């Protein structure tokens, strides 16, 4: 059976993966991408032509990549060629630092949270902060986690849960934790219905299995979270033709707006589609 490979899509994903590795400089990424996508051996001349790297930059990149074990150099009497190591070995090498970082982060998350919560530094203050705008999802999630952790009555996730849950399991765990808390805190997701077999649908079913209330509605276009009818978190929703590729996130201390959004959500909830 012949397996068709979308080489353009694979190339785009290889490029995206290599861009995430900050230890690789631009020349390293170009050379490794070229060799991963070209199974056969290549000479330095061919690589220079394909990657448009200068000769000095090319040889420095080849030395760095060889020392890391992700490319192999074959020295023959007449010429020297280069090729990528086995793709599985290359991917393992690229992912290994992240795996180790994930292991360490898993071990230190609980004690660090305990340290901050004991000192009261993670709890949001009651002083109005106006509007805060950032392009850093990490910064936005940090503020959101603080408010979700100290929620008193309710959390609404409307429009789409993707910005808050897809990039980090932390918010998902906090929502599950709050839904399992003693009566008094309600956690509701009112989001667009995803394809039944999608990762998003599986994530929503898992949330529901853990006690989070989930219903489907297309009324709200902008992904938002409302906490205690006071704190509002938004992701920008520019149309595709105007989207620069960089999302921005807004945090508002806006009780009146949040109360209106929550009331609208309550009305929509009563008419929305229940999840299976």
pLDDT tens string, the chain, 276 residues long: the values are 444 566 888 999 999 999 999 999 999 999 999 999 988 899 999 999 999 999 999 999 999 999 999 999 998 867 899 999 999 999 999 999 988 988 898 888 778 877 876 665 444 544 445 688 888 888 888 889 888 888 999 999 999 998 898 877 888 888 998 888 767 789 999 999 889 888 888 889 989 998 899 999 999 989 999 999 999 999 986 544 444 557 899 999 999 999 999 999 999 999 886 655
CB 8 within 8 A of CB 14: no
Domains observed in the chain: 1-122 (1.10.10.10), 123-274 (3.30.870.10)
CA 40 to chain centre: 34
Q: What is the pTM of this model?
A: 0.64
Helix (H) or strand (E) holding 253, with range, is strand 249-253
Find where tokens 């690789």 sit: 24
Judge contact between 138 and 171, C-beta under 8 A: no
Dihedral sign, Cα of residue 217, residue 223, residue 228, residue 232: negative
């Amino acid at each position: 059976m012949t397996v068709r490979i979308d080489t353009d899509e694979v190339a785009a994903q290889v490029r995206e993966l290599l861009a995430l590795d900050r230890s690789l400089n631009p020349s390293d990424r170009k050379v490794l991408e070229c060799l991963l996508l070209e199974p056969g051996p290549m000479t330095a001349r061919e690589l220079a032509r394909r990657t448009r790297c200068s000769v000095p930059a090319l040889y420095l990149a080849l030395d760095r990549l060889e020392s890391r074990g992700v490319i192999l150099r074959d020295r023959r009497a007449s010429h020297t060629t280069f090729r990528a190591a086995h793709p599985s070995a290359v991917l393992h090498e690229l992912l290994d630092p992240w795996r180790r970082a994930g292991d360490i982060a898993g071990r230190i998350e609980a004690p660090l949270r305990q340290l901050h919560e004991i000192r009261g530094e993670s709890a949001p203050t009651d002083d109005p902060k106006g509007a805060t705008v950032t392009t850093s999802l990490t910064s936005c999630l940090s503020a959101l986690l603080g408010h979700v952790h100290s929620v008193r009555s309710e959390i609404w996730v409307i429009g789409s849960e993707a910005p808050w849950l897809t990039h980090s399991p932390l918010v998902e765990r906090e929502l599950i934790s709050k839904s399992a808390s003693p009566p008094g805190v309600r956690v509701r997701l009112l989001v667009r219905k995803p394809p039944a077999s999608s990762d998003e649908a599986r994530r929503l079913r898992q949330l529901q299995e853990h006690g989070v209330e989930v219903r489907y509605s297309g009324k709200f276009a902008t992904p938002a979270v409302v906490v205690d009818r006071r704190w509002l978190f938004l992701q920008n929703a520019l149309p595709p033709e105007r989207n620069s590729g960089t999302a921005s996130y807004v945090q508002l201390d806006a009780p009146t707006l949040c109360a209106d959004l929550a009331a609208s959500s309550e009305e929509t909830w009563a008419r929305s589609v229940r999840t299976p």
